[in-house]
């Protein structure tokens, strides 16, 4: 058994909340462990004056942390699972996926508005192509502007800017205690969440059996099944976190339900799928569903939509 663990994390308030949460959970199970945090800046943290889709995609908020781990300078990394590419670098593995927070997106509005009641031509701030596509699919009369930065920075820019509303993930807003600013928790039939949204991915070296065993106590089996279903769809469509793809797998009313979305940047072309299964009990069967639905969507035009978008990426 190890006597020390070093957790790698980004230094934003939300990333630190997540790392401290994992640290506290591990300390409950292993009070004798000496656990410390190491702050690491990623590309996504350094470049704040350009839209995410313009500066790259794969590993924007994870790559530097993974390089440090491969050099044996940290033992594990705590990521927002939605930031983790679906193909893990050689030598690394996702050893645990935490119990999920509410996966939905939220609207932060100036005035008492929902997406439905925003005035015609209202400006909505979002850094996500997925949110932008689904918002414009639902309300094509709205306008969108890009907004970057950590959560505190986004709230400050929103308050000082001219946008009428802003879209964010519920999980981050809740964890940093901005819940009183929420105007609407958005139903998934309006905006399907990001793949892995609301869950934490705990990454380790694949050959570090001691650390893998330690963090395995934090894995939530139900969340793992759902998240890996979503990630298999994303991997099959060869998408990333800056592509307009949404997916939501959940256990509901005794059934396994899965929803997915692929859309153009302006929301004019959109493919949605909603399926349900009586019983899904293994990661393998969940991943097979993700692949199956991805291929169905491809056959219905998803590939053509994504081909039009990918050339914009660096």
By annotation, the residues acting in catalysis are: 83
Distances (CA, A) of 38 to 73, 74, 120: 9, 8, 46
Three-state DSSP at 20 gives helix
The number of residues making up the chain comes to 314
CA distance 163 to 31: 47
Report whether 78 contacts 22 (CB < 8 A): yes
N-term to C-term CA, the chain: 44
Question: Cβ of 198: how many Cβ atoms within 10 Å?
Answer: 26
Distances (CA, A) of 39 to 20, 45, 88: 12, 12, 21
């Amino acid at each position: 058994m190890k006597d020390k663990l070093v957790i790698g994390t980004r230094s934003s308030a939300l990333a630190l909340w997540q790392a401290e949460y994992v640290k506290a959970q591990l300390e409950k199970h292993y009070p004798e462990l000496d656990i410390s945090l190491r702050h690491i800046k990623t590309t996504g943290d350094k470049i704040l004056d350009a839209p995410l889709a313009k500066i790259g995609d794969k590993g924007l908020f994870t790559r530097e942390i993974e390089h440090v781990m491969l050099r044996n300078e940290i033992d594990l990394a705590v990521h927002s699972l939605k930031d983790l590419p679906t193909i893990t670098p050689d030598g690394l593995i996702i050893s645990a996926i935490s119990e999920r927070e509410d996966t939905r997106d939220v609207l932060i509005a100036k005035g008492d508005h929902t997406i439905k009641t925003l005035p015609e031509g209202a400006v909505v701030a979002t850094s996500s192509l997925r949110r932008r596509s689904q918002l414009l699919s639902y309300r094509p009369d709205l306008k969108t502007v890009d907004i970057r930065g950590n959560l505190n920075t986004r709230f400050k820019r929103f308050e000082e800017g001219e946008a009428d509303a802003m879209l964010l993930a519920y999980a981050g807003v809740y964890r940093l205690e901005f819940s009183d600013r929420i105007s609407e928790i958005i139903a998934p039939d309006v905006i399907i969440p990001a793949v892995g949204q609301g869950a934490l991915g705990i990454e380790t070296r694949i050959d570090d059996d001691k650390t893998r065993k330690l963090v395995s106590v934090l894995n939530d089996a139900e969340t793992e099944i759902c998240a890996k279903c979503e990630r298999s769809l994303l991997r099959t469509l060869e998408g990333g976190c800056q592509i307009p793809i949404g997916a939501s797998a959940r256990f509901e009313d005794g059934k396994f339900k899965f929803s997915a979305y692929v859309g153009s940047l302006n929301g004019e072309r959109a493919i949605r799928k909603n399926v349900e299964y009586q019983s899904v009990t293994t990661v393998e069967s969940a991943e097979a569903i993700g692949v199956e639905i991805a291929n169905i969507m491809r056959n219905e035009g998803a590939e053509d939509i994504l081909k039009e978008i990918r050339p914009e990426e660096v």
